[in-house]
Amino acid sequence: MILRDLLFEIGTEEIPARFMTWALAEIERTAAEDLAGLRLPYERLRVAGTPRRIVLYVENASERQADFEQVIKGPPKTQALDAEVKYTAAALGFAKSRGVEATDLRFEAVGGVEYLFAVVREFGKDAVDLLPGFLAGLLKKLVFPKSMYWKDPSVRFARPVRWIVALWDGDLVPVSFGGVNSGYASRGHRFMGSPSVNIPIAKDYWEIMERECVIVDPARRKGMILDSVAEIEKGIGGTAERDSELLEENAQLVEYPIPFLGSFEEEFLDIPEEVLIATMKKNQRYFPVRDSSGRLMANFIGVSNNRARDMAVVRDGNERVLRARLHDAAFFWKEDLQKPLESLLPRLEKVLYQERLGSVAAKSERVRELSARLVAGMGWGDIAQATDRAARLAKADLVTSMVFEFPEVQGVMGREYAKRHNEPEAVANAIFEQYLPRFAGDELPKARAGAVIGLCDRADTIVAIHKAGLSPSGSQDPYGLRRAARCINEIVWGMCLDIDMGALFDASGDALDAGGEVMMKVSDFYRSRLHNQLRERGYGHGTTSLAVASMWRRPLQALRMLKAFDDVAGADWFGPLVLSAVRVNNILGKLSRAELAAVKLAEDSLKEAAEKSLKGALDRQDAIVSGALARHDWKAVCEALSDLSPAISGFFDDVMVMSDDSVERSNRLALLLRCRDMFDSIGDFALLK
């Protein structure tokens, strides 16, 4: 078998960094699927790219498509042959529909019955005949979040395509896209390479591009950045914040990374460090630097896409840009400090939260009232004053100049301004902690006041957006309700807050005058999110469904119940108990209300040992289960069920419930009613089947 390499380079204007990681993963996935569909084997699939190119490289691909044979089942022999043992019209029609001759038909037995089978053979084509369509298809399948057209409006890509290299070893693969035809000519680095670079054969591509100062592999560029950052750190005695997203973005912004050290005036360190970090990371893509004690230094590490003759020019230019932004931040900081948060509250009345739901001021007041109810209901009088004050000021920083310029520091600035205006520390911290966690893996609130405001704010958002008819659908969730529900559960679980979320949603619904239909949608939405989060923790579907159905209103107890039941799910007694619970429901479900109402237990007439054993187990465990449920002692509940399980299994094994004797039947049904009452008090055991 002859093996060849395939090179496919799509050369473009600079593609935004935020598109690149997705694009490379997408072209790898699509190419692998398409090559499998083409039956074209290969040794390795490699994708790479820079802002100016997306590259697919297939190593040691077969020169020829694999042959294909498929055996397709047709009509039974009794319908395929006539009395003269010739193919019937049904058999010949089957052969024609599969594109085969009668000689390609055969009979095979399946389950003792003979059927007609067609053998469809397709001989492999030369890869060179398949590759143009394969590559053209890849170009069309790459659909970016935002695309552009440059000539033909029907042809779109992330940025205009300027050149295409498509080589099968050294042979050109003809591909055309957006008025650009494939060729041997690539392009080097925009500043340090050649405007046109000939690629004579696919295997030489990587070496040629590196000579042209293009590091095509993003992983290598990241490694180069980290190595250079480590060298810079040694020289200044500091440590750069190695933010993975920032590293990824920098690697996707350059073709040849040249990290450099910059600095700014130490006076800017008086600005809250979150603002400095936001300015450096979000606006300039710089790595902030901290000293050995963890304090922010007046330095940054940037990444240039050009090795200038004098890198001081590059450094000075970047420092000027950062300095201008820091001057703005310093101005906003000083201006905002002149006005206490309290004085900004009237301005929230003019900030629209959502056109159907009124202003931010109205939402803020709802959250404040909801927080007060939650604090009172939980008996947390020690945080009532701080929570109320923090809830009143919670959104005031949204109308400050700093947050207007840097939205990502909302809450941070509220905390800092509150501190500067002598608000209690608990109030200032709660203003910040209401937003925690901000993203996956982020820290949780450290104190209950911030957690309470955050929970109430998110509960209000979920109910309000559902009331506005804007609940999430498919992948669309513009108001972040899924994230809000996730954060609620993370706070409840992480801080062990036994909060009745059902009651909190109901209180929010009352404040918003949300109807029953809206609240039904809210509960369905929240239960679904709770179920998904618990499943993500590795719990089984059945036990998760039981816990959510029974305890969705109290997510902390749902988790604890789930843990307890999951721990015993593999016990010898658990499976028989579930089966017994289902049998109880099936038997009692066939009886009318009148029949069930007439059932009575005559204890003196119990004769069978199995009857007495089940009654004894019920007598022992009824009160225990009731008490354990009242205090949410799930381990005790499981222990009680383990005692009941052999008794109820033995009951079903040894007696016939629907006895012809009316007294026996009544006694046995009465025992099952007691069992059902106990099971129902815990949950729907049918979900565990």
Name the pairing type of β-strands 161-168 and 180-183.
parallel
Give the type of residue at 198: N
SS (H, E, C) 573-589: CHHHHHHHHHHHHHHHH
Residue 358's DSSP bridge partners are 354
Task: For the beta carbon of residue 513, count every other beta carbon within 10 angstroms.
Answer: 8
pLDDT value, residue 72: 85
The residues near 35 (Cβ < 8 Å, ≥ 6 apart) are 42, 45, 58, 61, 134
493-528 pLDDT per residue, tens: 999 999 999 999 999 999 999 989 999 999 999 999
Please give the C-alpha separations between residue 228 and each of 243, 295, 305, 414, in angstroms, as whole numbers.
Answer: 15, 22, 14, 37
Cα–Cα distance measured from residue 498 to residue 519, given in angstroms and rounded to the nearest whole number: 21
**H or E element, residue 542:** helix 541-551
User: Which range (74-83, 126-135, 456-465) has the least confidence?
Assistant: 74-83
> The tokens of 205 are what?
């591509």
pLDDT value, residue 86: 87
Contact 38, 65 (CB under 8 A): yes
Q: 344 falls in which pLDDT band (50, 70, 90)?
A: very high
The residues near 631 (Cβ < 8 Å, ≥ 6 apart) are none
524-579 pLDDT per residue, tens: 999 999 999 999 999 999 999 999 999 999 999 999 999 999 999 989 999 999 99
Average pLDDT over residues 453-464: 97
Cα–Cα distance measured from residue 395 to residue 367, given in angstroms and rounded to the nearest whole number: 11
Q: What is the CATH number of domain 566-688?
A: 1.10.730.10
577-595 pLDDT per residue, tens: 999 999 999 999 998 888 8
> The tokens of 394 are what?
């919670």
The residues near 234 (Cβ < 8 Å, ≥ 6 apart) are none
pLDDT value, residue 159: 95
> The tokens of 348 are what?
């929230």
pLDDT value, residue 629: 95
pLDDT value, residue 227: 97
Domain 3-65+126-211 has CATH 3.40.50.1820: no
The residues near 63 (Cβ < 8 Å, ≥ 6 apart) are 1, 2, 3, 4, 126, 127, 128
The DSSP code sequence of 582-621 is HHHHHHHHTS-HHHHHT----GGG--SHHHHHHHHHHHHH
pLDDT value, residue 682: 94
User: Which range (95-99, 267-271, 290-294, 666-670) has the least confidence?
Assistant: 95-99
Peptide bond into 437 cis (omega under 30): yes
DSSP-derived letter for residue 158 is S
Contact 450, 430 (CB under 8 A): yes
Cα–Cα distance measured from residue 151 to residue 148, given in angstroms and rounded to the nearest whole number: 10
**Collapsed DSSP state (helix, strand, coil) of residue 183:** strand
Token look-up 């069978």 returns 608
Contact 236, 259 (CB under 8 A): no
667-688 pLDDT per residue, tens: 999 999 999 999 999 999 989 8
Does position 103 have pLDDT exceeding 80, yes or no?
A: no
Contact 652, 637 (CB under 8 A): no
Contact 9, 164 (CB under 8 A): yes
Does position 444 have pLDDT exceeding 80, yes or no?
A: yes
Does position 224 have pLDDT exceeding 90, yes or no?
A: yes
Whether 566-688 and 3-65+126-211 are alike in CATH topology: the answer is no
Cα–Cα distance measured from residue 117 to residue 106, given in angstroms and rounded to the nearest whole number: 5
Q: 473 falls in which pLDDT band (50, 70, 90)?
A: confident
Average pLDDT over residues 478-490: 95
Q: 666 falls in which pLDDT band (50, 70, 90)?
A: very high
Cα–Cα distance measured from residue 566 to residue 561, given in angstroms and rounded to the nearest whole number: 8
pLDDT value, residue 607: 86
pLDDT value, residue 104: 79
Q: 131 falls in which pLDDT band (50, 70, 90)?
A: very high
Contact 553, 503 (CB under 8 A): yes
Cα–Cα distance measured from residue 603 to residue 615, given in angstroms and rounded to the nearest whole number: 9
SS3 content of the chain, % helix, strand, coil (to 5): 55, 15, 30
Cα–Cα distance measured from residue 575 to residue 388, given in angstroms and rounded to the nearest whole number: 50
pLDDT value, residue 606: 86
pLDDT value, residue 689: 78
Domain range annotation of the chain:
3-65+126-211, 71-122, 218-326, 344-536, 566-688
Does position 598 have pLDDT exceeding 90, yes or no?
A: no
Which conformational region is residue 289 in: left (phi greater than 0), alpha (psi within -120 to 50 degrees), or beta? beta
Task: For the beta carbon of residue 582, count every other beta carbon within 10 angstroms.
Answer: 15
SS (H, E, C) 643-659: HHHHHHHHHHHHCCCCC
**Collapsed DSSP state (helix, strand, coil) of residue 216:** coil
Nearest 5°: phi and psi at 149?
-125, 150
Does position 119 have pLDDT exceeding 90, yes or no?
A: no
Task: For the beta carbon of residue 297, count every other beta carbon within 10 angstroms.
Answer: 18
Does position 335 have pLDDT exceeding 80, yes or no?
A: yes
Contact 527, 484 (CB under 8 A): no
Contact 58, 5 (CB under 8 A): yes
Q: 113 falls in which pLDDT band (50, 70, 90)?
A: confident
Residue percentage of the chain with pLDDT more than 90? 79
- What is the residue-averaged pLDDT of the chain? 93
Contact 653, 608 (CB under 8 A): no
Alpha carbons within 13 A on the beta-carbon side of 282: 12
67-79 pLDDT per residue, tens: 887 888 899 988 8
Q: At what angle do helices 541-551 and 516-536 cross, to 10 degrees?
A: 140
> The tokens of 180 are what?
């650009």
Cα–Cα distance measured from residue 135 to residue 8, given in angstroms and rounded to the nearest whole number: 8
pLDDT value, residue 680: 94
Cα–Cα distance measured from residue 326 to residue 276, given in angstroms and rounded to the nearest whole number: 7
Cα–Cα distance measured from residue 406 to residue 396, given in angstroms and rounded to the nearest whole number: 15
